Structure 1
Amino acid sequence: MTTENQPSSPRPAVTVATADGRRAEVTLVGDIDVGALRALEEQLGAAPLSGAAEWTVDMNAVTRIDLACAYALLRAATLLPNAKVTILAARRSVQRTLRHAGLDAVAVIEER
Structure 2
Amino acid sequence: MTVDPRRPTPTTEPVRIAEADARHAVLVFSGSLDAPALRVLEELLLDHRLREPTVWTLDMSHLDHIDLACAYALLRTVTRVPEPVAVTVRGARGTVHRTLRHAGMDTVASFEH
Q: Same fold (TM over 0.5)?
A: yes
Larger radius of gyration: 1
RMSD over aligned Cα atoms: 1.6
Structure 2: distance between partners of 1:38 and 1:20: 24
Deviation (angstroms), 1:19? 4.4
Aligned position for 2:12: 11
- Structure 2 Cα separation of the partners of residues 19 and 65 of structure 1: 23
Structure 1: 4+ residue segments shifted above 2 A:
17-21
Q: Determine the structure 2 residue equivalent to 1:24.
A: 25
For structure 1, list consecutive stretches of 5 or more residues without a partner in the other structure: 1-8
Give the whole-Å Cα distance in 2 for the aligned partners of 1:47 and 1:79: 15
> Normalising by the residue count of structure 1, what TM-score does the alignment of the two structures yield?
0.85
1:95 equivalent in structure 2: 97
Alignment length (residue pairs): 103
- Percent identity reads 47
In the superposition, the TM-score normalised over structure 2's length comes to: 0.84
Residue 37 of structure 1 contacts residue 69 of structure 1 at CA under 8 Å; is this kept in 2?
yes
Determine the C-alpha separation between the residues in 1 that align with 2:19 and 2:13.
Answer: 17
Cα distance in structure 2, aligned partners of 1:19 and 1:43 = 13
Question: Could you list the runs of 5+ residues in structure 2 that have no partner in the other structure?
Answer: 1-9
